[in-house]
Chain A
């Protein structure tokens, strides 16, 4: 049933030129079979056991009004009441959904492309490349506590640098009309750095010879990038696309540090958290929110993966 086969696009190209021999499906020998099983089993068990099992448990808990205390046998099933409540009388839910979408758009349109641009620029042989890389990457290494403080220093209405410099009195964090944008900027500040890092690694897979060839052909650098480099980086592009998506969906810590995701900064993940931590926690209700999140995102992820796998073959 299992066959070893070069599953790469490059492999295809090479096979086409290299003859039929490589396209023949080879049966794996016992040793290879054992290798595959050993290599796959531990990660799979870990992910299934520690992520998926709890995730499915959460979906089940979403049908209960459990508060997280006492034996499992005491759990009281209440059907879809939590879901009904979320859709009807839980005011933060719809804004949260909207904010997640805005978050996604800001990352896709601004910060992810910016991270890619930074990567492409600093990847060229320029002086002080490491300085630039470090500057852009720095926000990624900072603890949430510092990031919260940093942006409070800038955004604070009374004490913040932005209002002091521009003479404004905008309540960046408190006004629910603007604070989501302030938070998106702070988030983008960090996101850009790690997209840059992923592209830096991805660019290593691109043969510089291609650039040289294009340069000889008289293509401008921008043309070279969009016509050649960008398509070649397809595997990285997909990673970045999926990660940007996950990042937007799971967006949590920054907003949590700012004001625990209230008052204009609602995001689904913060709603989940607000409902499951602390005493008297609403595990059932929070799980219902999480289940909605899982449902929504699985849908998109499956589509993305399908496109990706089709492209690979």
Chain B
């Protein structure tokens, strides 16, 4: 496989970029049509749910969901209040921010070691990290639960006297579970980075830490942004660990608020939709904030747009 070097990326090709700015060709039109159809296809299920979140359950019950009418905005304030989002948003913020930050920190360190340092257990360690993603968390529940229960914490740290029922416990397990995935992604991303910079740094006698901090971290920003976006979505929507390791309803994250909108038997699905849309908003905001990072080209010289 002939692989062109990416090292050439440091050169600027601004002149040639002008070539791209050509007129509207039939190919372009086809591209827009294709993308628009696909985007609508992707959006449609979501829009359909939004549509029904704006309707009264009694109305849709009598007339079916494929109908028009019964519009109300009530579902949104009701969902907010009944789900207890005011509390759960705070809990989710603590868990998600801490877990994502620690995960990215831990995995970029580990990925750097795996990508830049040759040592005997390099492959084994990589396998250990990648394969850690393979197990369904459910199968580890009982051992993890027992471990957490046996960790003694002073009362001022934890009212349960152990790691159970603490946000720290949930953060810890999420970090452990997501680190494998992120390490793998970042390690591979780092492998693809131009080595010329490291060589220059090594000649200048830069320490390994300096190389990590000064070269690698700025270069992996697109990958970090993409990962952060995914991680926020996953950890925020993660319901398993939070609900099994926490026992107090008032420590539970947003996913539990959504469950609070379901009854033992009966569920007002329109209300639940409204609640889910409320719940999705923070993640969308994060997506918009970080989107710039992985959309716009960075130091690699791809100064498009």
Contact = CB atoms under 8 A, between A and B. Distances in A.
In-complex A–B contact (CB below 8 Å): yes
A36 B125 CA distance: 13
A212 B17 contact: yes
Interface-central residue, B192, B209, B304, by most chain A CB under 10 Å: B192
A89 interface: no
A24 B91 CA distance: 51
B272 to A, nearest CB: 6
Interface-central residue, A29, A142, A236, A289, by most chain B CB under 10 Å: A142
A242 B45 contact: no
Contacts of B276: 142-143, 145-146, 149
Interface residues of A, number: 141
Q: Which 7 A-B pairs have the closest CB atoms?
A: A11-B195, A290-B139, A146-B276, A50-B176, A54-B143, A201-B226, A39-B109
Contact of A125 (B146, B196, B212, B305): B305
B35 A132 contact: yes
A35 B207 contact: yes
B185 A198 contact: yes
Given A144-B239, A149-B49, A309 B287 contact: no
25 contacts: A4-B116, A8-B195, A10-B195, A14-B195, A38-B109, A43-B106, A58-B142, A124-B31, A136-B38, A141-B287, A144-B237, A145-B262, A153-B52, A159-B65, A194-B230, A197-B230, A205-B6, A205-B193, A207-B302, A235-B192, A236-B192, A276-B142, A289-B139, A290-B136, A301-B127
Interface of B: 1-9, 11, 13, 16-17, 19-21, 27-28, 31-32, 34-35, 38-40, 42-43, 45-46, 48-49, 52, 64-66, 106-107, 109-110, 112-113, 115-120, 123, 125-136, 138-144, 146-147, 172-173, 175-177, 179-181, 183-185, 188-196, 198-199, 202, 207-209, 212, 222-223, 225-227, 229-230, 233, 237, 239, 254-255, 258-259, 262, 269, 272-273, 275-277, 279-280, 283-284, 287-288, 291, 294-295, 297-298, 300-302, 304-305
B interface, over-half SS = helix
Contacts of A209: 8-9, 11, 13, 16, 301
Contacts of A51: 132, 135, 140, 176-177, 180
A312 B191 contact: yes
B134 A141 contact: no
A309 B187 CA distance: 11
A112 B139 CA distance: 27
Contacts of B275: 145
A242 B134 CA distance: 10
Contacts of B134: 246, 249-250, 293-294, 297-298, 301
Contact of B42 (A13, A135, A277): A135
A208 B132 contact: no
